[in-house]
Chains A and B, each alone.
Chain A
Amino acid sequence: MVQLSGIANETIRAEIEEFLERPEEIERNVELFSRASPAMQDIAAALIEGDNETVDRLTVAALADGVHALEIMDDGLIAGMGIVGIKFREGYVFVPEVLVSARAMKAGMAHIEPILAASGVEPIGTVIMGTVQGDLHDIGKNLCIMMLRGGGFTVIDLGVNTSPDEFLAAVKDSEARLIGMSALLTTTMPNMARTVEAFKDAGLREQVRFMVGGAPVTPEFGEEVGSDGYGKDALACVALAKQLALEVRR
């Protein structure tokens, strides 16, 4: 069995020891970071600490050393963000800390994405993301987008105040089958239902899967508006997208 002591980076060891509680998550992360190279562990540690300049520098250095872009993304950036996501879910860190880590992830991804795109690595799926009509809040949506991209999805970001017609047009234009709707306001949540209705009216409901999320949104509300799943946070959003991506592929 892989031991915590097998991880070279002190920050990563401390993070796992202090903040991870679920046995399966401890096991998965110990295994992941034990097999990751010290350079990848350093990238993950810098990302957890929100140090965008170090992530940028280490990513460039790793690429120059011949490390594959996919390895940097999986073992450095996504692995680090995975720890941040768990800490957020458990209430050890809050939105500001996640935003700062997300900024660091973006710094690394800026070097990785063009390489992956050019090498023809196939995405797991394409997700259309938007904050629903009347709602201009986008933090939660942006965090989900960042995690989805890190999780191997292509994301079409429709931004905020997205009307049902805009969601429909995006599906027609892209042939994407996953749609993520976000709302921060209880006053705009009903627009999730309107969007689902618009897809029914257009005869497209059966071809797509809807994910919903946002601070006031609940699993019950998600069910009520006719969505296919609810994600409590960005980590849950990625897990749900992976599950729904399998459904639409069948």
Chain B
Amino acid sequence: MTEQQYPRLSGEWMTPRRRFLSALYGGRVDKVPAMTLSSVITLEAMEIADAEFPEAHLDAEKMARLAATAHENLGLDTVMPVFHSQLEADALDASTWWGTKDNWPAVDDHVLTDPEDFKVPSDYLERRSFKAALGAIRLLRKRYPDVGIVGKVYGAWSVGFHMVGIENFLMDTILDPDKIRRYLEVLLPASMMSAHAQLEAGADAIMWCDHANRELVSPDMYRDFLLEMHQQIQAEVGGPSILHCCGETTDRIDYFAEAGWDCFHFESQVDPVKAKEIAGDRMSLFGNINNPTILFSGNYEDCYEACMTVLNAGVQGVAPEGSVPLGTKMEVLAALADSARDYSNAHRPDGRFVVHDPPEAGGDG
């Protein structure tokens, strides 16, 4: 037998993009990915990239430069340029306040009172929010062929909050459920077009945000209004799918898995061990480092320790639970990548692939 002619695959041998996609599908990885799924943009990052809010929300070049700091400066395996949540709503004529350097954009007026009045505009994907986001994804794909690019879509339920107003929307789930079903039906194509366009522009996966969390609605409401629609999305989205739902979601993770999502990005209210137990092998889990206490108010060590807790639970990737407060320090966020590296180095028995400890054994961090 001849001497091996090629370098043996060991350590961190996968590209970040390959690692991210493999983890998303629950596959083999050389290192557990540390990611941005929601925004990790901070005031510091804006200085580094010379690209600030609110201009960066509507300027492809600035958006791309700013998004790239997640990989360049934080060492994360992904970038995610759609920082805000207004992509679809703004293009659907909801009135948008684009915020300031240190404040996030938001919808400031609701325009829809009857689902029959709704129509996706013919130039929907050419409107300013899409022009910037799709342009940024194209630039990032060109500049970072080996880094995972996450696209972000607000689903029909959450776009409904923006278009109809959350109070009216939620009240009608009880007073006029058929109206809500009709809203979801007419709004879904707008979300689907957004997903397709981002995938075509070069996104590797779509994070689909529909906020049906326990702080708002019952798990039965998810089942009755969203489960079937989310199953339909899997067949039509055309790329890997990550569901994001804020807040406490333990009592509906089973439904999320049943809906067929490839992965669920969960928040810190959910115990990662419990989430893993429910999801099993049906759906990957990315999460769930707490924003206010750990990332914003904590230090590097707090973040590192929180990441290790999540990694020891056996989730497939570590990431902040949601968009981080803009005043978060990058030195704290640096613990995301460091912890994933250290955990993986300690859990790579053959030198090639990470193997998590069995749940009952716990982890050694």
With CB as the reference atom, state the residue of chain B lying closest to A191: B103
A94–B221 CB distance below 8 A: yes
Tell me what chain A mostly uses at the interface: helix, strand, loop, or mixed. Answer: loop
Check: B334 CB closer than 8 A to any chain A CB.
Answer: no
The stretch of B111-119, B132-140, B169-177 in contact with A is B169-177
Instruction: Write the A134-175 contact mask toward B (1 if CB under 8 angstroms, else 0).
Output: 111111001000000000000000000100000000000000
B9 within 8 A of A: no
A189 near B216: Cβ-Cβ < 8 Å:
no
Residues of B within 8 A of A187 (CB): 104, 291, 322-326
Interface segment out of the listed B17-25, B149-157, B292-300: B292-300
Residue in chain B with minimal CB distance to A99: B171
Interface size on A, residues (CB 8 A): 32
Given contacts A137-B166, A221-B293, contact A95 B215 (CB under 8 A): yes
Q: Contacting chain B: which of A2-10, A77-85, A119-127, A212-220?
A: A212-220
Q: What is the CA–CA distance of A194 and B254 in the complex, to the nearest angstrom?
A: 40
Q: When the two chains form their complex, are residues A96 and B297 in contact, meaning their CB atoms are under 8 A apart?
A: no
In the complex with contacts A186-B323, A190-B327, A95-B293 CB distance below 8 A: no
The minimal Cβ–Cβ distance linking A126 to chain B, given in whole angstroms, is: 24
Q: Contact size class for B?
A: 35 or more
How many Å lie between the Cα of A150 and that of B291 in the bound state?
A: 34
Please, what's the 1-or-0 string for A174-192, where 1 marks a CB less than 8 Å from any CB in chain B?
0000000000011111110
**Docked-complex contact B104 and A134, CB < 8 angstroms:** yes
- Any A CB within 8 A of the CB of B99: yes
A136 touches B293 (CB 8 A): no
User: Is A26 interfacial (CB 8 A cutoff)?
Assistant: no
Let me know if B217 and A134 touch, CB within 8 A: no
Across the interface, which residues of A come within 8 angstroms of B291, CB to CB? 186-187, 216
Give the chain B neighbours of A96 by CB distance below 8 A.
170-171, 173-174, 216-217, 221
Known: A142-B167, A215-B247. A94 touches B324 (CB 8 A): no
Q: Is A226 an interface residue, CB under 8 A from the partner?
A: no
Contact across chains for B216 and A95 when beta carbons are under 8 A apart: yes
Determine the residue in chain A with the shortest Cβ distance to B247: A215
Identify which of B99, B100, B296, B321 gathers the most chain A CB atoms within 10 Å of its CB: B296
| B83 (CB) vs chain A CBs: closest residue | A187
Q: CB within 8 A of A95: which of B217, B321, B327?
A: B217
A185 & B175 in contact (Cβ 8 Å cutoff): no
Complex interface bits, A73-103 against B, C-beta within 8 A gives 1, otherwise 0: 0000000000000000001001111011001
A94-B216, A186-B324 as given contacts; A139 in contact with B167, CB under 8 Å: yes
Closest B residue, CB atoms, query A137: B166
A50 on the interface (CB 8 Å rule)? yes
Which chain B residue has the least Cβ–Cβ distance from A95? B216
Take A50-B174, A215-B215 as given contacts and tell me if A220 and B323 are in contact as well, using a CB distance cutoff of 8 Å.
Answer: no
Against A, the Cβ 8 Å flags (1 = close, 0 = not) of B207-222 are 0000000111110010
Say whether B322 contacts A186, CB under 8 Å. yes
Contacts known (A134-B99, A186-B291, A190-B327); A95 close to B170, Cβ less than 8 A: yes
B107 within 8 A of A: yes
Task: Check B97 for interface membership: any CB of A closer than 8 A.
Answer: yes
30 residue pairs A–B, Cβ–Cβ below 8 Å: A50-B174, A94-B216, A94-B218, A95-B216, A95-B217, A96-B171, A96-B173, A96-B216, A96-B217, A99-B170, A99-B171, A100-B171, A100-B174, A134-B102, A134-B106, A135-B106, A136-B106, A136-B108, A138-B167, A185-B323, A186-B324, A186-B325, A187-B325, A189-B292, A189-B325, A190-B326, A190-B327, A215-B246, A216-B247, A217-B292
Enumerate the 10 nearest inter-chain pairs by beta-carbon distance, A residue then B residue, closest first: A134-B103, A186-B291, A136-B106, A96-B170, A215-B215, A99-B171, A96-B173, A96-B174, A95-B216, A94-B217
What is the interface of chain A, defined by CB distance below 8 A to chain B? 50, 91, 94-97, 99-100, 103, 133-139, 142, 161, 185-191, 215-218, 220-221, 224
